[in-house]
Chain A
Amino acid sequence: MRGIFTRFFKDKKAMTIGFCLGALGFIEMYVALFPSIQKQANELNKMMESFPKEFMKVFGMDSAQLMFAKLENYMSTEYFSFFWPILVTIMAISFANAICVGEIEKKTIEITLAQPISRAKILLSRYLGGALAITLFTVVSSYGILGFAFLHKIDYSLANYATVAFVGTLCGLAIFSIATFFSVLFSERGRSTMATVGILLLMYALNIISGLKDSLQNLKYVSFFHYFNAPEVFGNNRIVDWSIIVFAGTILLFLLAAVLRFQKRDISV
């Protein structure tokens, strides 16, 4: 198992480093801009307050959080609400595809399947390799903010970083588990990718729709974007109710489904 885990992680090392550096580059840009944006906070806040309340509600924002008074509030809106979820989703789907469907397309899976190791162990070894890479990315792309804040002499709230790294890792792994399931379900990378992206877009849409009408508000509970609500998690250092259970449950459920499916499916390249 260790050999497959190590090899998978090694193969994903360059991409992980690239994503970490990309995230750090964006963080530096955002953090460097923060002091000047902070100076204009009052004007920006006035502008935000002129937006319809429904608009602010739909996007889960409130004016108090958009005051840019704190680095964490600013980064939760600018970075963790949009850029970071895209990065972690691309990473999760890419690594998940490499576990099975990518190897089927490249016709390289037979060399591993011909070895004396169970399919469950093959999948779990690769999953753990990918999970480690995603965890490292989340930690670097969260705590990286702290480093640049220190460099630019900006105040920070240390506790918020542990919270966002923890919830962010769970969220990334939940997406990774869903993508892993589709990677073993399908034999074409395009279909596997579209299935995961489709589910995430649906979750995003449901989270927005839930804010439009009181009668629809319960829809938010099926969306990861409700549980990884960056202004709450990073800005307010608060773990949204049920989020750990929902993310952990998704990880276990989809990973189990992936293992069962991988053990039973025909693999023909």
Chain B
Amino acid sequence: MSKAVIQIKDLKKYFGKVKAVDGISFDIEKGEIFGFLGPNGAGKTTTIRCIMNFLYPTLGSISILGKDAVKDSVFLKSKIGYLPGNVSLNNNWTGKSHIEYIESIRGKSENARELAKKFDLDLSKKFKNLSSGNKQKLGLVLALMSDPEIVIMDEPTVGLDPLLQNLIYEVLEDLRKKGATILISSHNLSEVERLCDRVGIIKAGKMVTVEPVAKLEGKKLHRVEVRFSDKYQKEEFKVKGVDTIEEITGGFIFTVGGDLNPLLQKITKHKITDIEITHANLEEIFLKFYEGGPK
């Protein structure tokens, strides 16, 4: 039996001729943090808005906790805490008014005030008078105040200072420990690397890959930095598996997808002064997908 909490099958969302999301499928399992990665305009937010039933899918299906995201949207929203990208709330309401408003719909919250205290958030201030960091904190309180089983966050740390980013990471890690299922969209690779169990990379509305973060980091791409003491030609290193070649003083930085041996055979024909082979970081993997390199 599948443990999937969120199942997306062949989701398409078109706006006229624009294919914002064009047939993506992925599952998110219970208790995992799933990172939804892609640059602006790739279709991350559109997918999230379809999950939240703000947008109706053109084709395909979204199932959450075994229920249909469109037909059972009201029930499902009682299980979901949602943090929109660039939190926009009512300027003239205080934090307290916002909490009371949500409580008037969801019922009394056990932990809203505690969360605000933890985030050092002054609930008596009007939203318009809060700093961008505090606005985000309030958005976070509203998303988490009803102890949701599923948390969906659209770029939760965008524009925030490192301290606040860390606070959000701690909150997400706490939620994971409690068993919540979390979907975060991001183009902040280091946060995805730090938090997520699996990552889905979306490019121009299509899912390029869905992989465990560890697998993406470890298996698919190597970074080879090498310096020579003899003469060399860039062309001789254009062998199978080499995705990019960056010239540096006295050598190159290669990114290699797959088998390293063809490149190493070429390298060892030269006098090497220094060599470093590392697993590529997520950013390099990400760029590989976006530069249309081999997959």
Contact = CB atoms under 8 A, between A and B. Distances in A.
A265 to B, nearest CB: 8
Interface stretch (A112-120, A163-171, A172-180, A250-258): A112-120
A4 interface: yes
A37 B220 CA distance: 91
A6 B76 CA distance: 25
Q: Contact size class for A?
A: 20 to 34
A267 B74 contact: no
A268 B90 CA distance: 17
Given A7-B101, A108-B88, A114-B82, A266 B77 contact: no
B142 A111 contact: yes
A264 interface: yes
Given A3-B105, A7-B101, A111-B142, A116 B84 contact: no
Interface string A90-132: 0000000000000000111011011111100000000000000
B232 interface: no
A267 B55 contact: yes
Contacts, number: 69
Given A106-B88, A111-B89, A113-B54, A268 B105 contact: no
A216 B227 CA distance: 93
A267 B90 contact: no
B75 A115 contact: no
Contacts of A113: 52-54
B69 to A, nearest CB: 13
A114 B143 CA distance: 9
B88 A269 contact: yes
Of B84, B102, B105, B142, which is in contact with the most chain A CB atoms at under 10 Å from its CB? B105
B104 interface: yes
A268 B78 contact: no
A117 B105 contact: yes
Contact of B77 (A106, A114, A264): A114
Contacts of A3: 100-101, 103-105
A2 interface: yes
Interface in B24-76: 46, 49, 52-56, 74-76
Interface string A1-21: 011101100010000000000
Nearest to A10: B97
A3 to B, nearest CB: 2
Contacts of B103: 3
A7 B90 CA distance: 11
A4 B90 CA distance: 13
Contacts of B89: 108, 111
Contacts of B105: 3-4, 115-117
Given A106-B88, A108-B90, A110-B84, A115 B102 contact: yes
B191 to A, nearest CB: 22
A110 B90 CA distance: 11
B106 interface: yes
A111 B143 CA distance: 9
B74 A118 contact: yes
Nearest to A107: B88
Given A113-B52, A116-B74, A268-B55, A2 B104 contact: yes
Interface of A: 2-4, 6-7, 11, 106-108, 110-111, 113-118, 264, 266-269
21 contacts: A4-B101, A4-B104, A7-B101, A108-B88, A110-B54, A110-B82, A110-B84, A111-B88, A113-B52, A113-B53, A113-B54, A114-B82, A115-B77, A116-B74, A116-B76, A116-B106, A117-B105, A118-B74, A266-B54, A267-B54, A268-B46
